[in-house]
Structure 1
Amino acid sequence: MPRHMNRSRKACFLACAAVAIAITSGAATAQAPRHKPVDEPGTEAVLPPQDSELYCKNIAEAASDARVKWQTWKLISLEARLRDRIAELQRKENEFELWVKRREDLLNEVEDQVVSIIARMRPEAAAAQLSTTDEEAAVGVLLKLKSRIASSILDEMEPSRAAQLTQSMMGLTNPEAQRSF
């Protein structure tokens, strides 16, 4: 409920209460204090509602409507903030995917250059280079080389390292071999 409406209703209520007090204070001196009249033992008579009770009953529906409108407005604003956040995350995701694609393109270009360099090397020198690199990189290079060049490089390697790389190449090129265990 807006504050300015709340204040004006409070002022109206206070004014009505002041008038009611002034009227009842004059009547209180003329009349005896109000007690609940009892007709029969065990039964009480119902008093008419007071002004404050009537006021509360009269504004209850308007207050409920105002509360519902405020909650609706709050939900709409939260939904808008959520949509903005989702859009921002989608922009970030697209930006990240673009960055990953550029990185993969660069790595592929660098890898192709390394493969062409290794292909032009003497088999002994290439074997020495691939013996010191990690297994995954060496297997990647050997798979991209022509089979004649790769076999001459493997021939120049230490037999255990050559067997290890060959086994890894077979596992990468034959997916059924990986599932056999």
Structure 2
Amino acid sequence: MIQMHSLVPSAAVLRNGAAVVLIAMLPAFAGIAVGQQQPQPPDAASEAEIKQFCSSIADAARDQRYLLQKQELEKLQADVDSRISVLETRRAEYEDWLTRRNAFMKKADEQLVEIYRKMAPDAAAPQLAETDVMLAAAIIMKLPPRQSSLILTEMKPDKAAAVASIMSSAGDPTTSKDPS
């Protein structure tokens, strides 16, 4: 027997040499064979069973959802902990590098001041005039006052005034310590 769900509308099928024209019915497209009943909507008893089933598995479903969320949170916590560990390692490396750099800079700074301390004021003045004003002021402030005044005397007046201005603002107690 040919089932209706395998036919298409107005399909011609040969049976015993005769052409039979069949018109497929709508249930054939829905996958229902001829003679089968269409599904019926659930009645009140079925709805009560569905509600009872859903309420009986609600606690288990909630527990499973909480378990999945807990596992996800534990995974995220492990990821955060590993990132913190990497950051702590990098922070320690940076602090070590910064300590070494500061020690080098202090030594270089001391040596630079010592170089200018040993120079004649008329030779030091043109060199400091060509450097950054802040650097020149810092170096001149670390020199003995007598040598600083001789160097400032040898500098061009505008450059000497800029250096003196920076030096005076550095010693001003009302100047903010925060440069921003």
* Same-fold status (TM-score > 0.5): yes
Matched-pair contact (CA < 8 Å) for 1:124–1:156: yes
Q: Deviations over 1:49-98 (max 9, x none)?
A: 58776655443322221111111111122112112212221221222122
TM-score (norm 2): 0.66
Letter in 2 for 1:136: M
Letter in 1 for 2:153: D
Deviation at 1:46, TM superposition (A): 3.5
CA-CA distance at 1:103 after TM superposition = 1.2
**Counterpart residue identity of residue 165, structure 2:** Q
Aligned sequence identity (%)? 33
CA apart distance, 1:152: 1.2
User: How far apart are residue 144 of structure 1 and its match?
Assistant: 0.9
TM-score when normalising by structure 1: 0.66
Summarize the alignment of residues 36-47 of structure 1 with structure 2, pairs less than 5 Å apart. 46-47=44-45
- Kindly report which structure 2 residues correspond to 1:1-181, keeping only aligned pairs within 5 A, or say none: 46-48=44-46, 55-176=53-174
How many residue pairs match? The answer is 139
Query: Does the residue aligned with 1:176 lie in a helix, a strand or coil?
Result: coil
Query: When you count helix as a share of all residues, which structure comes out higher?
Result: 1
Aligned AA for 1:71?
A: Q
Higher relative contact order (CA 8 A, sep 6+): 1
* Partner amino acid, structure 2, of 1:76: E
Q: Which amino acid aligns with 2:141?
A: L
Question: In 2 relative to 1, CA 156–120 (structure 1 residues): closer, same or farther, beyond 3 Å?
Answer: same
Runs of 4+ in structure 1 off by over 4 angstroms are 48-57
- The more displaced of 136-145 and 153-162 is 153-162
For 2:46 and 2:121, the matched residues in 1 are separated by: 110
Q: How many angstroms apart in 2 are the aligned matches of 1:48 and 1:55?
A: 10
The answer to which structure has the higher strand fraction is 2
- For 2:87 and 2:150, locate their aligned partners in 1 and report how far apart those are by CA, in whole Å: 51
> How many angstroms apart in 1 are the aligned matches of 2:153 and 2:47?
106
Q: Which runs of 5+ in 1 are unaligned?
A: 1-33, 37-44
RMSD of aligned alpha carbons: 2.9
**1:92 counterpart letter in structure 2:** R
